[in-house]
Amino acid sequence: MDRPDHGSHVLDTNLAEWAPTDTPGFWEKHLLRDDRGSTVLMRVDPGASYGLHHHDQLEEILVIEGEFSDQDHTYGPGQYCVRAPGAEHTSHSQNGCTVLLVYRR
């Protein structure tokens, strides 16, 4: 969905299909995209991992279910992490998880 220019717009994420990413075991549903960033639901399969990487944008992560880990911590439901642009990190989930990701320019 693009940024609305008026009113409210609704997307039922339960009806949207999970789309594979370039990384095996990582799936996404794009909720909002525009020139300022994006909002994405991401599902990580049990045991899936992605090596050291970074993003050019501010990254916000809210764990919805399961456990999401990086090289320093494991985050559970309701926990929130924010990363500065360029901050290097890993991503993985031992038992699988769903997270909300927000990327901002």
- pLDDT tens across 57-88, in order? 999 999 999 999 999 999 999 999 999 999 99
Q: How long is the chain?
A: 105
Average pLDDT, the chain: 94
Measured from the Cβ of residue 22, the count of other Cβ atoms closer than 10 Å reads 6
Identify which of 90, 52, 85 has the alpha carbon closest to the alpha carbon of residue 70: 90
Amino acid letter, 88? E
What pLDDT score was predicted for residue 2? 64
pLDDT band at 6 (very low <50, low <70, confident <90, very high): low
- DSSP letter at 84? -
Measured from the Cβ of residue 40, the count of other Cβ atoms closer than 10 Å reads 17
Fold adopted by 32-97: Jelly Rolls (2.60.120)
Query: What is the mean pLDDT of the segment spanning 44-67?
Result: 97
What pLDDT score was predicted for residue 8? 85
pLDDT band at 21 (very low <50, low <70, confident <90, very high): very high
Contact 42, 98 (CB under 8 A): yes
What pLDDT score was predicted for residue 4? 66
Q: Is the pLDDT of residue 40 over 70?
A: yes
Domain locations in the chain as residue ranges: 32-97
pTM of the model: 0.89
Distances (CA, A) of 100 to 5, 6, 43, 60, 93: 23, 24, 9, 8, 14
